[in-house]
Amino acid sequence: MPPSPIRIEEKFGLFSDRWSPRVVAELNDYQVKLARLEGEFVWHRHDETDELFLVIGGTVEIAFRDGTVRLSEGEMLVVPKGVEHCPRAQEECRVLIIEPRGVLNTGDAGGDRTAEADVWI
Amino acid sequence: MPPSPIRIEEKFGLFSDRWSPRVVAELNDYQVKLARLEGEFVWHRHDETDELFLVIGGTVEIAFRDGTVRLSEGEMLVVPKGVEHCPRAQEECRVLIIEPRGVLNTGDAGGDRTAEADVWI
């Protein structure tokens, strides 16, 4: 059998909680995740890896210590490794995230906003 | 300065040739590329890596030796490493591709459809 297509909107229809990335595919040792963002997250950094965000729907602001980047549908950002950031979304934003397998959403910060890693949908 | 957002549609506006991926971002040692596909490509495989396709606009069929997968906007496919495939698009299709830096579009096949790697836009 050939590999299966992954329909992004269909996958988003399968969960509604915020800040809990779901894995939808793997590319070598990288994972493609979908997440719903709403409200303000926590400041954190990933010391071992860059992190790619691609907005599927809505708008998210990613705050950095030296400025804020606003991303809407069809826009992408790579957060460099080791750089502190804090995502915020006034209304729900749907994003695709790519990073190595096992990366935690809260990076170095930890705490109660930390979602379980490697949860597939 | 915070990292810069990458606007996918804006980047597509900067080139029109088919089958010539343009790099728009790097994520560690991976590259995010945009490509316009139209017509039939060549059968090939990438022995060292999986390859991710995400359709931004239009429709592409990716033929495998055991079946064909049709992908439209918002749909994604990971071609496993070592698996022969051949993309075809009846009308122009715009795709985002993610794979490690340096991967050639024609993989093991080579030939005159081989585009230069690492061309940024």
3-state SS class at B8: helix
Q: How confident is the model at residue A9 (pLDDT cuts 50, 70, 90)?
A: very high
Residues from chain A contacting residue B100 (CB–CB below 8 Å)? 28
Q: What is the pLDDT along chain B (121 residues), one digit of tens a residue?
A: 999 999 999 999 999 999 999 999 999 999 999 999 999 999 999 999 999 999 999 999 999 999 999 999 999 999 999 999 999 999 999 999 999 999 999 999 999 999 999 999 9
Task: Write down the pLDDT at residue A49.
Answer: 98
Distances (CA, A) of B67 to B4, B70, B72: 40, 10, 17
Flag if A74 and B7 touch (Cβ within 8 Å). Answer: yes
Percent of chain A with pLDDT over 70: 100
Task: Write down the pLDDT at residue A112.
Answer: 93
Q: Any idea what DSSP says for residue B110?
A: -
Task: Write down the pLDDT at residue A71.
Answer: 98
Q: To the nearest whole angstrom, how far is the Cα of B77 from the nearest Cα of chain A?
A: 5
Task: Write down the pLDDT at residue B82.
Answer: 98
Which amino acid would we find at residue B115? A
pLDDT tens per residue, range A13-55: 999 999 999 999 999 999 999 999 999 999 999 999 999 999 9
Residue in this structure with the two tokens 């931004």, named with its chain if needed? B56
Distances (CA, A) of B52 to A98, B78, B112: 11, 4, 23
Closest CA to A78 of A47, A113, A53: A53
Task: Check if the interface score ipTM surpasses 0.90.
Answer: yes
Q: How confident is the model at residue A57 (pLDDT cuts 50, 70, 90)?
A: very high
Residues from chain B contacting residue A121 (CB–CB below 8 Å)? none
Give the number of beta-carbon pairs within 8 Å between A and B.
114
pLDDT tens per residue, range A63-109: 999 999 999 999 999 999 999 999 999 999 999 999 999 999 999 99
Q: Long-range contacts of range B110-115, CB-CB < 8 Å, 24 or more positions apart?
A: B111/B42, B113/B19, B113/B41, B113/B42, B115/B19, B115/B20, B115/B21
Percent of chain B with pLDDT over 70: 100
Task: Write down the pLDDT at residue B114.
Answer: 96
Neighbours of B52 (CB within 10 A): 24
pTM for the structure as a whole: 0.97
CATH superfamily of A8-100: Jelly Rolls (2.60.120.10)
In chain A, domain spans: 8-100
State how far the Cα of B49 lies from the Cα of B78, in Å rounded to an integer. 10
Nearest CA in chain A to B68: A2
Q: Any idea what DSSP says for residue B111?
A: S
